[in-house]
Amino acid sequence: MKFQKLPQTQYRKRSSIIADYIVDQIRGNEYRAGIKLPSERTIAEQLGVSRPSVREAISALQIVGILDSRPGDGTYVSQRIGFEDLGHQAIQVLESSDSPLELLQARKALEIGTTRMVIKIADETDIAQIQKAWQNKLTEGRKGNYDGYLDHASEFHMAIARATRNSLIERMTGNLMQATQQPLWLSMRRTYYSSDPSRLEEMLDVHDRIVKAIQMRRTEQAIEAIEEHFDILIRRTYHLTDDSAE
């Protein structure tokens, strides 16, 4: 069964419309329980939408149990019991959450500017607080404690924001970090790490390079590591190649 292009609209999130469309296909028995959906790339091409929007829609449908992702295999229809209510729940997840892609893009832009500022004006006390917060995060990561690692994420990024001595930057950073606790991003982030445990070690390495560059006040090295950090997260969270994020 081929998906049809979606109409343009400015009143609903594109991911919500995609989720609704997939639910309609399942409701109409085009895709029954146990049937594999087309790949995200194929769905995006057939619907005329971006792959990130498809990834967010599928993630929401996975959260409520309509779809089941099988690493290395694909995405399957898992059930139709209580189907109508589950469909509504998936839409609520999408409508109540900021786009994780937009969240990562916003954090990347803000943290590049914040780090430039910190390297210029932070004193040794500020640097020590950043290092302390990083050590807490690193310790949990080295133990393989995924939840502990994420628990210290806000502490680490807020330490960098506070080092700017700018209350607006600190508030903006706090708002973005709070958004990472929304259901859609929590689910997608957990999938990101659980699907490949080596990704946690990769993130520890890039964060360590960011901290060391700040300590040595090497702006370009710090910015390069920040860009690498967010580019990796975006590309792998959304299953993207360099030319598929449009």
CATH code for the domain of 172: 1.20.120.530
Where in the sequence is the domain holding 84, given as residue range(s)? Answer: 14-95
pLDDT digits (tens, 9 = 90+) for 229-243: 999 999 988 887 644
- pLDDT value of residue 242: 47
- pLDDT value of residue 82: 62
User: How far is the C-alpha of 138 from the C-alpha of 124, rounded, in Å?
Assistant: 20
**Final residue in a domain of this structure, among 68, 95, 122:** 95
Q: Are residues 64 and 105 in the same domain?
A: no
pLDDT digits (tens, 9 = 90+) for 30-64: 888 889 999 999 999 999 999 999 999 999 999 99
pLDDT digits (tens, 9 = 90+) for 64-83: 999 998 877 889 998 665 66
Q: Are residues 74 and 123 in the same domain?
A: no
Q: How far is CA 19 from CA 36, 63, 145, in A?
A: 16, 12, 33
Assess if residue 25 is contained within a domain.
yes
Q: Are residues 89 and 21 in the same domain?
A: yes
**Final residue in a domain of this structure, among 95, 113, 129:** 95
pLDDT digits (tens, 9 = 90+) for 213-228: 999 999 999 999 999 9
**In this model, does residue 147 exceed pLDDT 70?**
yes
Instruction: Say what the pTM is.
Output: 0.84
User: How far is the C-alpha of 228 from the C-alpha of 221, rounded, in Å?
Assistant: 11
- pLDDT value of residue 71: 77
Assess if residue 195 is contained within a domain.
yes
**In this model, does residue 85 exceed pLDDT 90?**
no
**In this model, does residue 197 exceed pLDDT 90?**
no
Assess if residue 186 is contained within a domain.
yes
Assess if residue 115 is contained within a domain.
yes
Non-local CB neighbours of 104 within 8 Å, separated by 6+ positions: 230, 233, 234, 237
- pLDDT value of residue 244: 44
Assess if residue 246 is contained within a domain.
no
- pLDDT value of residue 80: 60
**In this model, does residue 4 exceed pLDDT 90?**
no
* Count of structural domains, the chain: 2
Assess if residue 88 is contained within a domain.
yes
**Considering the chain, what is the average pLDDT of its residues?**
88
Cβ-contact 211, 136 below 8 angstroms:
no
- pLDDT value of residue 243: 44
Comparing 34 with 8, the larger pLDDT belongs to 34
Report how far apart the first and last C-alpha atoms of the chain are (Å, whole number).
25
pLDDT digits (tens, 9 = 90+) for 114-133: 999 999 999 999 999 999 99
Q: Are residues 21 and 71 in the same domain?
A: yes
Which H helix or E strand runs over 85? helix 83-95
**Final residue in a domain of this structure, among 49, 74, 95:** 95
Q: Are residues 67 and 140 in the same domain?
A: no
Q: Are residues 113 and 212 in the same domain?
A: yes
CATH code for the domain of 82: 1.10.10.10
